Structure 1
Amino acid sequence: MLLSVFAPAVSRLHRTLLPGSARAMSAVSLLVSPERCLYDRPLQLRVLGLSPGQDVTLRTALSDDGGELFTSAAHYRADGGGEVDVSRSPGLAGGSYTGVDPGGPLWSVQPRTPYRRLVKKDVRSPLRLRFSLHPGHGGDTGEELLAEAAQERSFLGEGVRREPLREGRVRGSLFLPPGPGPFPGVIEVPGAGGGLLEYKASLLASRGFATLALAYYNYEDLPKDMKALQLEYFEEAVNYMLQHPQVKGPGIGLLGHSKGGDLVFSMSAFLKGITATVVVNGSVANIGAVLSYKDNTLLPIGIDTKKVKYPKPGIADIHDLLYNPLEESHRKSLIPVGKADCKFLLIVGEDDRNWNSTFHAQAACQLLVDEGKEKPEIVYYPKTGHYIEPPYIPLCEASMHRLVGLPVIWGGKPKEHAMAQVDSWQRIQAFFHEHLNKTEVKSKVYERVVE
């Protein structure tokens, strides 16, 4: 049973040390601050009361909504004062991460079941993290416990309102920050997994944006599959946000990842009322379904199944699966990005194995330039994969792909991917603030290349 005593700002537990058979008078403290916070907030964790130079292992554990256990184990050595502070103490070789990294205990957790991705499906409840401290750098999970503590990390900030949306054909959830508003408005469009995912929208609302988490298939009375999509459905969602009394005009923002990325490219090209669009590892080709709008039809880009590779048995690498939409024979799938009149921020993982996101970002840039439009801001993140999430969500190396029908690799190196998530999340908020609020917000910048 997890034992913890919470102070207003710090979660702390003392345990008396037992060296050999003698009971020591000193105690070790594991302090985690704050007790409750948003998931994207940096972690503050300290250990007090160790012997100078003592080796310890810090374990992190959490369970997702389905009960899957995610864990990590980091190795530390106490300083001369008997303290470990994850903001300045380096993780040592042999643990889940190395070097000084305050977020390491969070982003390094991995599932016990292969190909399981950490996704918060019910944002109304927090994720509960358990931290435990053990002597030495051994791998025995039953080793002596020195101290333990807990923290709750939420995707839904205090006072944020969640309103299920069933307006006309539109289905989703609207998240409104506390206060009277109006607030800058954003629609968040997810990838090809279907259903309703709210964790990004709820976090953005917790940071001051009126955000609509939009479902577009396999949810309630929406179509069960993604064979054909009508852009008029997404237009209804845009108009709903533009007319909402608590959404600041005159335009709104769009955020889309993967399949959601090509959808927000299409929305920006064909629909009115879009001021700022963020595309995270998106495609300039229409993916997976016929997309129609009035007299316009975009066919799904073709695939070359001979290009699929299998780096491990039963796991596919689909990086080269799509045909080139710039070639004349495939241009019926090319999204006319150059028609858009909004500002663009393109987030690119250079090690994206789902498809060549670098190519698609550069193609979008050229399509805009060819139409005399302003170049988009493009941020390239080295050693970063397909699922660029909010901060501290662990890298998923491979998981089931709904459209492919088997597990695929997503790319990325854990630490570099984690750094990209922290930086890109700040950049996304700054971009929306600048263009929807006309206010500049500076963000901390990690290693990246900006075009």
Structure 2
Amino acid sequence: MAPAVRLSPAARSLFDEPLAIAVQGLAPRQQVTLRTSLRDEAGELFQACARYQAGDDGELDLARCPALPGGSFSGLEPMGPLWALQPQQPFRRLVKRDVRSPFRLQLEVFEGHGDAPGRLLAQAQHERAFLRDGKIWAMLFLPPGEDPFPGIIDIHGYIGGLSEHRASLLANHGFATLALAYFSYENLPREPTELHLEYFEEALNYMLQHPQVKGPGVGLLGYSKGADLSLAMAAFLKNITAVASLNGPVATTVIPLCYKDKTIPSLPIDEQLAKVNDSNILDCSDTLSDPFQAPGNQSLIPLEKAEAQLLFIVGQDDHVVKSEYYATEACKYLQAQGKDNFQILSYPGTGHCIDPPFFPLYPIGKHPVFDKWAVLGGELRAYSKAQVHVWPQIQAFFNKYLNDN
């Protein structure tokens, strides 16, 4: 029979679920190259390829057959065709903000292991979809059903607009999740000179009053700048039960934060302290002041006021924020204050970006403040393993503290 690509039906709807790929109808021990490609909503092309050898039965099952050296990855990596996707143009990140349309992943099987593709033997298309519902200044994602669900507010980093992918996936796993924009979206300021915590308090109150959000508290998931905003919300606002901080500072950064009659200044940042590598790319690891030293401590968020459980998720190779140092020092500080409401998950070889499972690595990108190409950090295999490990940890954390309150 002619070769054909077989996909597991169960993997067609959720982006963060494993994808089972098998190729049938090959000759025994036939050498083939599997290529995956997709275009994101910005039109950027991402591709990966791997070299395989079929079994004695002429079947190639990625769950049983390791990829051979010479491709984008090697070893037994069933999800390698997704997490190893690389942009055709350098330094491009996979863009997915509007989740109304799915990703369409193209799979092609070519004859042989040459540098140029051999004869096309088989091909298939796979859709990785999200879930979307509701509309306010943010986007509310509700799981199927009528019962109240544990509620989460998802706050992205300092890139502007509305980022929906994490919230959509959390809704797939039973959480009513609000993806919250806070600048450069709809009628929000494009380049704010200050942020007001009252805006985030309004989002919190919306969730607390929603009939399908289980109370009495909600959770916050913050990435980068969104993490310091989440921690500030936990310090100053009530009814926040759990906060997961993804590679975030523990001080106000980039923009001063105002609440009532109080203003927390942003942590000083100095581009002159950036290093420049041989490719003229910045390493901004040392540009942010130490928030635990004056004058940086004026920007430090008073975490001791937070009643929520705090989960600090950090990449040890983060070149934007010294997230592991900040989390470690913050926990020492909290412990000295007699608090025990914290934990740290630390991942070696993982940079500033920690996406849900199987998103491609993004080790270099535009620095959100300097608007120049900068090292974000991360090593491909370690980053992929961190994604797979941390995503269920985040869900378990919120399930524990939002369902048991």
TM category (shorter chain) comes to over 0.9
Return 5+ residue gaps in structure 2 as ranges: none
Contact 2:42 2:95 in 1 (8 A): no
Shift of 1:213: 0.5
Distance 2:354 2:342 in 1: 19
Query: The residue matched to 2:116 in structure 1 has which SS?
Result: coil
Query: The residue matched to 2:313 in structure 1 has which SS?
Result: strand
Is 1:132 matched up with 2:108? yes
Is 1:100 matched up with 2:76? yes
Distance 2:307 2:44 in 1: 44
* Higher alpha-carbon Rg: 1
Aligned to 1:226: 192
Aligned to 2:23: 47
Contact 1:196 1:213 in 2 (8 A): yes
CA deviations over 1:337-386 (Å, ceiling 9, x no partner): 11101111111111111121111111221232122211412111110111
Contact 1:226 1:288 in 2 (8 A): no
Aligned to 1:371: 337
Aligned to 2:255: 289
RMSD: 1.3
Query: The residue matched to 1:250 in structure 2 has which SS?
Result: strand
Is 1:119 matched up with 2:95? yes
AA matched with 2:102: P
Is 1:254 matched up with 2:230? no
Aligned to 2:65: 89
Q: TM-score, normalised by structure 2?
A: 0.97
Distance 1:153 1:82 in 2: 28
Aligned to 1:62: 38
Contact 1:284 1:363 in 2 (8 A): no
Query: The residue matched to 1:180 in structure 2 has which SS?
Result: coil
Contact 1:319 1:355 in 2 (8 A): yes
Which range moved further: 33-42 or 381-390? 33-42
The share of aligned pairs that are identical, in percent, is 50
Shift of 1:225: 1.0
Aligned to 2:236: 270
AA matched with 1:87: A
Distance 2:12 2:18 in 1: 12
Return 5+ residue gaps in structure 1 as ranges: 1-25, 166-170, 440-451
Distance 1:123 1:29 in 2: 29
AA matched with 2:133: R
* Corresponding residue to 1:316 among 258, 264, 282: 282
Query: The residue matched to 1:218 in structure 2 has which SS?
Result: coil
CA deviations over 1:41-75 (Å, ceiling 9, x no partner): 10100112222222110000111012111111101
Aligned to 1:217: 183
Is 1:163 matched up with 2:134? yes
Contact 1:32 1:150 in 2 (8 A): no
Larger strand share, 1 or 2: 1
Shift of 1:135: 1.1
AA matched with 2:256: V
Is 1:192 matched up with 2:158? yes
Distance 2:295 2:47 in 1: 48
Shift of 1:38: 0.9
Aligned to 1:340: 306
Contact 1:351 1:412 in 2 (8 A): yes
Distance 1:243 1:350 in 2: 38
* Corresponding residue to 1:182 among 142, 148, 161: 148
Distance 2:58 2:404 in 1: 48
AA matched with 1:33: S
Distance 1:312 1:404 in 2: 19
CA deviations over 1:375-419 (Å, ceiling 9, x no partner): 412111110111100110000121122311111111111111011
CA deviations over 1:7-55 (Å, ceiling 9, x no partner): xxxxxxxxxxxxxxxxxxx421211122722110101001122222221
Aligned to 1:241: 207
* Corresponding residue to 1:307 among 273, 277, 280: 273
Query: The residue matched to 1:71 in structure 2 has which SS?
Result: strand
* Corresponding residue to 1:150 among 115, 125, 147: 125
Aligned to 2:315: 349
CA deviations over 1:92-132 (Å, ceiling 9, x no partner): 11100111011100011111111110021220110001101
Shift of 1:226: 3.3
Query: The residue matched to 2:241 in structure 1 has which SS?
Result: strand
Q: TM-score, normalised by structure 1?
A: 0.87
Shift of 1:140: 1.3
Is 1:393 matched up with 2:359? yes
Q: How many residues align?
A: 404
Which range moved further: 260-269 or 398-407? 398-407
Distance 1:180 1:30 in 2: 38
Aligned to 2:138: 172
AA matched with 1:192: Y
AA matched with 1:164: K
Aligned to 1:27: 2
Shift of 1:220: 0.9
Distance 2:329 2:197 in 1: 22
Shift of 1:244: 1.0
CA deviations over 1:238-297 (Å, ceiling 9, x no partner): 111111111100100000000001111111111101001000001012110111112322
Contact 1:383 1:412 in 2 (8 A): yes
Distance 1:88 1:282 in 2: 38
CA deviations over 1:112-165 (Å, ceiling 9, x no partner): 111110021220110001101011111214x31011111100121xxxx51111
Contact 1:132 1:145 in 2 (8 A): yes
Contact 1:314 1:406 in 2 (8 A): no
CA deviations over 1:294-344 (Å, ceiling 9, x no partner): 232211111233321122433211111111111122211111111101111
